[in-house]
Amino acid sequence: MGNGTPIGRVRGLGSAHEGADGWWHHKISAGSNLVLVLWFLLSIALLPNYDYATISGWLAQPWAAVPLILLVVSTFYHFHHGLTVVIEDYQHDETRFVLLLLLKYFTIATATLAIFSILKVAFTAGATL
């Protein structure tokens, strides 16, 4: 039931027996990125002004903060998955493990910082500075 048999090709099973699971996850995250980026661009375009008060007031609404956090999560998931595939495909020496570890920590740190920034603006909107 490997790649050489007809049933193996139909099921999409490779040597790791995972099939097209990673490919499918990447396509789903790309689709969610497309929808969320279009929502973000449309939401920003419909704002009456682009000063800090308007943006922070908009971001204080749950219908703005939650999709924006989902956009961050989806984008960083897509980013992490794509670069993991590139590293696994093209890096074959002992630095592969280090690069995958650095990628994971970088992705977690930057996504956490972005989510924290969104939440900080959303929860402190209208407060005195």
Q: For 79-91, write each residue's pLDDT tens digit.
A: 999 999 999 999 8
Domain ranges of the chain: 6-124
**What pTM did the predictor assign?**
0.81
By C-alpha distance, which of 85, 121, 115 is closest to 103? Answer: 85
Count other Cβ atoms within 10 Å, centred on residue 90: 8
Residues 88-122: pLDDT tens digits?
A: 999 888 899 999 999 999 999 999 999 999 999 99
Average pLDDT of the segment spanning 13-41: 85
The answer regarding whether domain 6-124 maps to CATH 2.120.10.30 reads no
The pLDDT of 23-51, averaged and rounded, is 95
